[in-house]
Amino acid sequence: MDGKIANRSEEITEEQWLEVNEFNRFIVNDFLDNQTHLSNRSVNAYRSALRIFFVWCKDNLQDKKCIDIKKKEFLRYINWLVKRGISESGIKFKKSAVSSLNKFIENFYEDEYPMFRNFVTSEIQIPKTGNVFQKEPLTPEEVQYLCDELAKREEWQKIAYIKFTYSTGCRRAESRQLLKEVVDYEPKRKMIEIVDENGIKQTVESVSYKTHDIRCKGRSTQGKIRKLQFGEDVMQALKKWLEIRGEDDCPYMFVVKQKNGDTRQVGENIFNDWCIGEFSEIVGRRLTPHGFRRSRATNLVLYDHRSLETAQKLLGHESSETTQMYVIREDSEDADEAFV
């Protein structure tokens, strides 16, 4: 089993999922269908965690039904996650996902399985793995170095992803929604007044683009609809990628080629693979997709000397206090100052 998904993305393919026994697949789907209080993003996170668990069960527990799994067997799963190098928070979520499913079975299937008890108990502790990673932002020079190295490898889609994600400060679920039609959009040009690092006011031209509507994180279960703003360098990177990609029927910007030759929209975990794998290797420390968001906020304030409010508008935070948490210091709806 370790060779199948231990060193790969945590995204289980449909082919892998269909190999799991029908009973477990039905219970998981029924559980997810009844999580009406959760956002779509949270439901997807639970789906991913539960699929990982039951694919593991298929390969390590002879595909046992979930109602027959024992506590000691689940402990083996926790130990397997630890050996994979999963962070403590990641293991805690995967544990809670299985526990939530068990509670669902206890409540909704009490008549069918009166003897079933939740095998995820408080006695099962998460080991202190030490895999709590520092949130050190990339400097502007490191972002450029990363793109330069990928250019040498002709990794044009990855460059387009980095530039778009960093420029907009968006999350991975938002990056994957980008449509390739944006390369036909017209730029927004505006003369604005900024204050440079010496405190001198200057009038400069801001050139930026806005995306189509993208569903972003928000308080409601459906999230918040926003148009993300990005710069001219991003537009050139997107056009370069589409030029190399060629013609296909998929409307999304970031895609993967399937075995049958079709092109489909990427899953969020592809971005994890890129960051934790190749990108981390290039810059010499661990990167995550969310790190680009944190880096953008920090660099706008510390290196570009823009206001916290500009970073707040760019990231779509309702409060500047939230943005302040993103900015790691060494001691309008638009964010035009970010694109000069």
User: What pLDDT digit, counting tens, does each position of 138-182 carry?
Assistant: 888 999 999 999 999 999 999 999 999 998 888 888 999 999 999
Distance CA 62, CA 265 (A): 33
Contact 336, 192 (CB under 8 A): yes
Phi-psi region of 261 (alpha: psi -120 to 50; beta: other; left: phi over 0): left
Contact 272, 165 (CB under 8 A): no
**What global pTM score does this model have?**
0.60
Distance CA 93, CA 41 (A): 14
Nearest-CA neighbor of 297 among 144, 173, 140? 140
The amino acid at 239: K
Distance CA 278, CA 257 (A): 19
Q: What is the pLDDT of residues 241-287, one digit of tens each?
A: 999 999 999 999 999 988 888 899 998 889 988 998 899 999 998 88
